[in-house]
């Protein structure tokens, strides 16, 4: 069983026919709770269910740790690419995020353009970063 199997949770949302699915998983081998350093990877799948060709131009992430400290990340494309996604096609990538707390939250958006040059934002669903080191309380 892999870490991805243990945390088999998918988050997804659809904006203008663009479906964004995210599956986060904790990287125990890269984390060190004594430091404190907690590391997650997340796989994002972007499916174009619309009738338009789109290109992912930019990304914007808000990463919030368990103490409420928020880091904003903006940049061009994802993992060094600005993929063109045709109707009925998809694009998938994996990236990662370190935190100094055993849990957190990520949410964001992609800046997309159509083949006609129209720019629009696509939501990335909020997803939780939960490590096995987090103390859980049930109320």
Percent of the chain whose pLDDT exceeds 90 = 86
11 pLDDT higher than 80? yes
- Residue length of the chain: 139
Q: What pLDDT shows up at residue 6?
A: 44
Domains along the chain with CATH numbers = 3-130 (2.60.40.1470)
For the entire predicted model, the pTM comes to 0.88
138 pLDDT higher than 60? no
CA quadruple 34, 128, 62, 60: dihedral positive or negative?
Answer: positive
Three-class DSSP category at 1: coil
97 pLDDT higher than 70? yes
For 47-76, the DSSP string reads EE-SSS-EEEEEEEEEEEETT--EEEEEEE
What mean pLDDT is predicted for residues 42-70?
97
For 106-138, the DSSP string reads EEEEEEEEETT--EEEEEEEEEEEE-TTS----
pLDDT band at 25 (very low <50, low <70, confident <90, very high): very high
Three-class DSSP category at 95: strand
């Amino acid at each position: 069983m892999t870490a991805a199997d243990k945390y088999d949770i998918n988050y997804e949302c659809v904006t203008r026919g663009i479906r964004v699915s995210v599956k986060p998983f904790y990287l125990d081998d890269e984390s060190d709770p004594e430091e404190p350093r907690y590391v997650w990877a997340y796989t994002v799948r972007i499916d174009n269910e619309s009738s338009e060709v789109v290109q992912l131009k930019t990304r914007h992430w808000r990463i919030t740790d368990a103490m409420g400290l928020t880091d904003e990340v903006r940049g061009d494309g994802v993992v060094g690419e600005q993929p063109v996604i045709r109707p009925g096609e998809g694009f998938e990538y994996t990236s990662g995020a370190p935190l100094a707390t055993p849990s957190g939250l990520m949410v964001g958006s992609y800046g997309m353009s159509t083949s006609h040059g129209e720019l629009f934002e696509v939501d990335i669903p909020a997803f939780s970063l939960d490590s096995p080191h987090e103390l859980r309380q049930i109320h």
